[in-house]
Structures are given as C-alpha cells and as structure tokens.
Amino acid sequence: MGRHTCCYKQKLRKGLWSPEEDEKLIKHITKYGHGCWSSVPKQAGLQRCGKSCRLRWINYLRPDLKRGSFSEQEENLIIELHAVLGNRWSQIAARLPGRTDNEIKNFWNSCIKKMLKQRGIDPNTHKPLAEAKVGEDKASGTSEGTSGSVDLKVPAAELESSNDAARGPASSSMPVFDTCAVERKASPMTKCFFLDQFITSQSSSDPVSVFSLAHLSFATDCSSSETALPGLSACPNPLWLSHNSRLLEMNRDFHCSTISTCPPSVPTPILSTSMDNSAQICAGIDGMQYSDAVYSGNSRQSSMNSADTVEMQNSSSFFHNGIFLWPESTPDKDAQVQLEKEPEDLKWSQYLDGAFPMSAATQSQSQPLHCDVKTESPSGFSDLVTWHQIQQQLQSSDIYGKDFQMLSVGFEQV
DNA sequence: AATAATATCAACCGCCCACGC
DNA sequence: GGCGTGGGCGGTTGATATTAT
C-alpha cells in the first residue's frame, strides 16, 4: 500500500535524484505549481512516482528550506517540542521554519537521542533515565521504542481531575523535563528564540506557544545581556521585540522605527496575565526582507516589570522550579478555571493544530486588532533564475527563509 | 594506507486518513 | 457502506561520509 498504483504502472526510477531530475522538478513546480502530485512526474518528464517527487520537493528542493546544521537554539527547541509533542515530527517541523520533518527526525535519531542519554535523560520519556527505568518496570507491558510522549488527546475534564495529583518535581508519576539543563546552556538569543516561536505560532491557543511563553519566565532580559544587540538596548525589554532572533543576530542593520513595548498577554485557557498590550513587533521574514507588524491592543502603557515576570511564572502551568510539568499536572488554578469553560470533549490535538477557537470570554475581552503588515515577501518563484538567485542568497547569508509567516498575536486586556 | 566501525541523511516503505465515486 | 485513489506522516533502510583502529 505504501507504493501507490502509479508506481507499478511503469518502470520508475528509485534511489538518489540526479541534478537533471532535480532541475526538471524545480522547473515544473516553479512554473506550474505541484497541483496533483501524481500528475507531476508525467508533466515534468520524470520517471518517478508522484510521491517521490513530493518528497524530493518538500525535503530538499523547496526554496524556503534552511540548509546546514542545526543551531543550538533549534536543538533546544526540538528537545522541548519533543517533550510536548512526541514523535510528531511534522508538527515539530511546523514550528521550526525552514526545517523539514525528515531533517528533524534524522537529527533527533542521530544526535539528540544520544546527547540526552549522555545527560542521563531518557529521550522517549524525557524523564531521568533511572526514573524512566522504574516506570518501565511498573508498566511492563509498554513496548520498547514507542514514543514516550503523553497522549495529548486528553479531555479537559481529565486534565482537571489529574491536577490534584502529582504536584511538584518529586512526583514519580509525572514526566519531567529538566529545563534547567537547557537553561544553563541557553544563550540570551536562545531565550529570544522561544518567544520567536510563540509569536509566530498560528494560534494563541496553541499550548506550545504557551509553553514557549512560559519558558520566558526564566528568561533574562536580553537588553541587560552582554550580547544585547545594537539598536535594541533602548528597548525596555527587547525580548518582546525580536520576532526572529536569528535575523537579529545576523542582520545588524535591523531596526524598529517605533519601539513601545510590553509583552502581549495571551488569550489562552492555560496562561493568564494582567499585562497590557501595546507592542510594535519588528519582524524579519524570509531572511531577506523585513516586515513591520504593528499590533495595537489597548494602548495603556506599561512595561515588563519584575511583578509581571513573577506573575507569568505563577501563571505558567508548564514549569515548576525549572522542571517541565506536563499539562495534566498543572498546578495553576486559573488554568483549571479556564479549562472548565472549554467543551469537555476538547482535544489537545485541536490546541496543537491551532484549530480550537478562542473562548468566547477571551474574545469578548480582546481588543480589536489593528494589524498593519508591510511585507516585501517575494511574489513567487516565477522562473529558475529567480530560484537560483534566492538559493544563492540563502546559502551566502546562511539565513533561512520562509515565503511568509503570519504573525498572529492576540492581545488581551484585563 | 587499509580496514572496520560509526554517523549522517536522502529516500523508500507501510500505514492512515480524507475524499470522491 | 465499500472501494479506489492521493496526500501525508512516521519508521526504517541503505548508500555515503567520516572517524577510529
């Protein structure tokens, strides 16, 4: 079944792709788009099956791919996302612009797994190895090699009922992820990167976004860091301004015409803050263009102060003393209350897909968004020359690109 | 220098799901 | 509802590159 019927109809090539084949495929897709993958090989004059073409395009030929080795930030993010999502490589890849699920999967299997084991962490469960061993002994029926991720399709009611149990890192039944280990290793840029993931997430209801934001409660202020970037030192908290830390890192001419800052609060069932909303987010997109996205919520000014930070820490249900808490063990009362408002049959997958709508209560509190996005995104890759030019730019700049990233930040007024 | 061991990663395989008939 | 088909995902394989002996 893995091979589709089209693959049997004619003798098709297998194995590595030749440059000629690549060129044919690129030419065809840049000109016509892929449309129906099964018809692509015929139209492009390739002796491959549609599936193979699709794979080649997605994993290798796509112009928005970021090539090269994974950065430390990406590595950390993959580990953290894996702790939440398990082996859902496509979902992890969706949060790593320019990376493919295959690439991440390979990187995980070849590098991260080994690294975690060396650190004494079970890569499947993200528990300390000793603890994971005990867990295995208890549940002797569990199969080896399966992902240790929790079942994310947990109804809210179950989430709530499990909240009373296993609070704190000492709990043996609670999967933990030692964020301190990552934190110790993480650079200030790493911390910005987590915000990056939060801001670029498609939905503010996304638990991974919340996860990333929660991570920020540990973050130090980038502006106070030795590695603070030129032009950002004036920012009360540049943490909230860097859409893409890698771009900031590599494009020193990055600028924000107006800087007013305070962290956007998050209309999510899990995280609630009382922070105010007025932010101008300077966003770098595509590695070559900048987009200024102006989000205006309630413009009552406030800055990211220590009280806010504390509040964030308190309202984060994902961390406790630097240990990653799984959602089912959230100690946060607010989160419980919020969750109760959601339908009982709410599935985690809906959160993960960003498909679950904002709660009515949250929506009513939200100010209308004024979103002014100026973008110079490429209009498309109309011919091969354009594509090669972009490839060259990408390669020379070592900056990943993406056709377009929607910035979706909801500001909640409290 | 030759060989073995190990790491990396592109590509394939097998399965699931959605959709149309 | 059953069937065929295509798209997509995660697991696995195998070729190649790199490192160790």
pTM: 0.47
Say which amino acid occupies A27. Answer: K
pLDDT score of A138: 55
The whole-angstrom separation of Cα A270 and Cα A203 is: 13
Å from the A37 CA to the B21 C1': 20
The whole-angstrom separation of Cα A44 and Cα A282 is: 40
The whole-angstrom separation of Cα A133 and Cα A128 is: 9
Residue range A128-157: mean pLDDT, rounded: 46
Residues 69-98 of A with CB under 7 A from strand B: 69
**Cβ pair A264, A411 in contact under 8 A:** yes
The answer to whether some atom of strand B lies closer than 7 Å to the beta carbon of A317 is no
What is the per-residue pLDDT across A66-93, written as a single tens digit (0 to 9) for each? 777 888 888 888 888 888 888 888 888 8
**Residues whose C-beta lies under 7 Å from strand C:** A 2, 4-6, 15-16, 35-38, 50-51, 54, 87-91, 101-102, 105-106, 109, 145-147
- Which nucleotide comes closest to A53 if you measure CA to C1'? B11
The confidence band for A113, taking pLDDT boundaries of 50, 70 and 90, is confident
**Cβ pair A96, A89 in contact under 8 A:** no
What is the per-residue pLDDT across A5-62, written as a single tens digit (0 to 9) for each? 444 445 678 888 888 888 888 888 888 887 788 888 888 888 888 888 888 888 888 8
The answer to whether some atom of strand B lies closer than 7 Å to the beta carbon of A106 is yes
Residue range A120-138: mean pLDDT, rounded: 69
Å from the A405 CA to the B10 C1': 27
Å from the A237 CA to the C13 C1': 49
- Which nucleotide comes closest to A93 if you measure CA to C1'? C9
pLDDT over 70, % of chain A? 29
Å from the A107 CA to the C19 C1': 19
Chain B positions with a protein C-beta closer than 7 Å: 7-16
DSSP label at A59?
I
Say which amino acid occupies A410. Answer: G
The answer to whether some atom of strand B lies closer than 7 Å to the beta carbon of A237 is no
- Which nucleotide comes closest to A5 if you measure CA to C1'? C5
Q: Is A353 exposed, middle or buried (0-12, 13-18, 19+ CB in 10 A)?
A: middle
Which of A389 and A185 is assigned the larger pLDDT? A389
The whole-angstrom separation of Cα A239 and Cα A168 is: 28
What is the per-residue pLDDT across A222-270, written as a single tens digit (0 to 9) for each? 333 333 333 323 232 222 222 223 322 333 222 322 222 223 333 332 2
Which of A139 and A15 is assigned the larger pLDDT? A15
The answer to whether some atom of strand B lies closer than 7 Å to the beta carbon of A6 is no
Å from the A30 CA to the C6 C1': 21
pLDDT score of A136: 52
Chain C positions with a protein C-beta closer than 7 Å: 4-12, 15-16
- Cβ-based neighbour number of residue A320 at 10 Å: 20
**Cβ pair A96, A223 in contact under 8 A:** no
Å from the A193 CA to the B5 C1': 37
Tokens of A383: 């011919």
pLDDT score of A176: 36
Å from the A1 CA to the B21 C1': 20
Of the candidate ranges A27-41, A80-94, A276-290, A338-352, the one whose mean pLDDT is the lowest: A276-290
Å from the A37 CA to the B20 C1': 17
* Cα–Cα–Cα angle for A295, A301, A306, rounded to 5 degrees: 105
Q: Are strands A370-374 and A289-296 parallel, antiparallel or unpaired?
A: antiparallel
Å from the A111 CA to the B4 C1': 22
Statement: residue A178 has pLDDT above 60: no
Å from the A148 CA to the B6 C1': 26
The full DSSP string for A29-51 is: HHHH---SGGGHHHHHT-SS-HH
The whole-angstrom separation of Cα A340 and Cα A352 is: 18
**Cβ pair A27, A44 in contact under 8 A:** yes
* Strand-pair partners of A391: none
Helix (H, G, I), strand (E, B) or coil at A132: helix
* Percent of chain A as helix, strand, coil, to the nearest 5: 45, 10, 45
- Which nucleotide comes closest to A104 if you measure CA to C1'? B9
The confidence band for A343, taking pLDDT boundaries of 50, 70 and 90, is very low
* Strand-pair partners of A372: A294
